[in-house]
Amino acid sequence: MKQPDPHSATGDLPPFLAACRLQPAAHTPVWIMRQAGRYLPEYRALRERHSFLEMMRTPELATEVTLQPVRRFPLDAAILFADIMTPLDGLGLGLDFAPGPVLERPVRSRADVEALRWRPAEEAVPHVLETVRALAGELPERTPLIGFAGAPWTLFCYLVEGRGSKSFITAKAFLHAEPEASRQLLELLADLTIDYARAQVGAGARALMLFDSWAGLLGPDDYRRFALPAVRRILEALSSSGVPRIYFPNQGATLLEDVAGLPVEVVGIDWRLPLSRARRVLGPQIGVQGNLDPAALFAPEAALREAIDQVLEEAGSGPGHVFNLGHGIERETDPAKVALLIDHVHARTARRTLREVPA
Ligand code: CP3
């Protein structure tokens, strides 16, 4: 397992890791949710010949796709090419993608929950760990690899609903009809995720992100009763991993008071909440990641620059900001706008935090 970086005291950390540690960075680091994906022609070219599952299950392909955006743009981090559903492949529920996750045999009863058995990541998804090892060997030192997993509640949504949905009403109904079985399933998903995340760090991931895409479907009481304890258990278990933890409670503006109490280095903020307001609730010990509206990448260049400046201003001049979109990049996005975004963030923030140069 990786030790904490020995250079942290000298300001020599890669900008992404420095920002995650709330230390001054040479510039505000940038990466983009779903940066490896369908907006890139080189991704679409590979995707014509291989299914999404095949790409994730083949280390050479998954490595190549992870590296595609890093070759094209001066990104400050890479994110493993996989899916939140990937570690659940080993549960034997018949996982496919069309294009979102679809399960042949969703979990619909207490008996279904009790029948579930999970296996360690090294057995169930060795190809993912092989991909992480390959990437750790190929990526430059200044471009750390982010490992990730789905948060238990978000995985629960797909496992019970069996497919994507706007309301996930089957999953939410199950919470209320079977609270005990629901908790048991969330616990199982937390156990599986702790093992999966640790295995990624062991293989060379230098940060870990938990995606809670459907956190905002829960009111604060249900979030506290069901989703939060499982997230807390994962984050606590990972405190000894030595890598920064990022938690992204999508549409979670009303949940942030609870999130502020979690053992986490960085919280991802969706585009609906200004970062200054997130910072006020989270306090000075937690960094923020985000949160340009992905739609801003469809604006003319001048308007895009203004929208980026607005996010930077909201983030404030202190350390602890990782620039990102407020959700995944849209497939119709022009890659030239992504290049502009990264250059603009780097240029506007160069050494600002180190030397306090007025903007
Ligand atoms: O960010 C990255 O570049 C890393 C890879 C990554 C993917 N999915 C690749 C992917 C990551 C981190 C994810 C996370 C993920 N997957 C989440 C959490 C983030 C979020 O968006 O809230 C969720 C909810 C999923 C489930 C999922 N997988 C959905 C809803 C879809 C369909 C998306 C769509 O736009 O149609 C997928 C498929 C998927 N995951 C694709 C990619 C590149 C498209 C696959 C294809 O080529 O057909």
Alpha-carbon span 241 to 235, nearest angstrom: 10
Residue 5: what pLDDT?
46
Q: At residue 64, what is the residue type?
A: E
Give the residues of the chain that fall short of pLDDT 70.
1-11, 352-359
Q: Is residue 310 part of a domain?
A: yes
Q: Is residue 303 part of a domain?
A: yes
Q: Is residue 2 part of a domain?
A: no
Q: What is the pTM of this model?
A: 0.95
Residue 12: what pLDDT?
87
Give the up-direction half-sphere exposure of residue 252: CA atoms within 13 A in the CB hemisphere. 32
Give Cα 206 to chain centroid, integer Å.
13
Alpha-carbon span 287 to 16, nearest angstrom: 11
Residue 6: what pLDDT?
44
- Name the one residue in this structure whose structure tokens are 């995707």: 47
Q: Is residue 271 part of a domain?
A: yes
Q: Is residue 15 part of a domain?
A: no
Residue 200: what pLDDT?
98
Partners of residue 145 on adjacent β-strands: 78
What are the start-end ranges of the H helices in 94-227?
110-115, 121-124, 126-138, 152-161, 169-177, 179-203, 220-222
Enter the tokens of residue 96: 């496919």
- What domain range is 105 assigned to? 23-356
60-70 burial code (b ≥16 CB/10 A, e <16) = ebbbbbbbbbb
Q: Is residue 186 part of a domain?
A: yes
Enter the tokens of residue 99: 């294009």
Kindly report, residue by residue over 153-163, the tens digit of the pLDDT.
999 999 999 99
- Percent of the chain past pLDDT 90, that is, above it, reads 94
**Measuring from atom 48 of ligand 1, which residue has the nearest CA?**
99
Q: Is residue 5 part of a domain?
A: no
What residues does ligand 1 touch, defined as CB less than 6 Å away?
Answer: 33-38, 47, 52, 79, 81, 83-84, 97, 99-101, 148, 164, 211, 213, 250, 328
Q: Is 125 exposed, middle or buried (0-12, 13-18, 19+ CB in 10 A)?
A: buried
Q: Which positions are annotated as active-site residues?
A: 34, 38, 47, 83, 158
The mean pLDDT value of the chain amounts to: 95
Q: Is residue 80 part of a domain?
A: yes
In the chain, how many domains are there?
Answer: 1
Residue 11: what pLDDT?
59
CATH of the domain at 342: 3.20.20.210
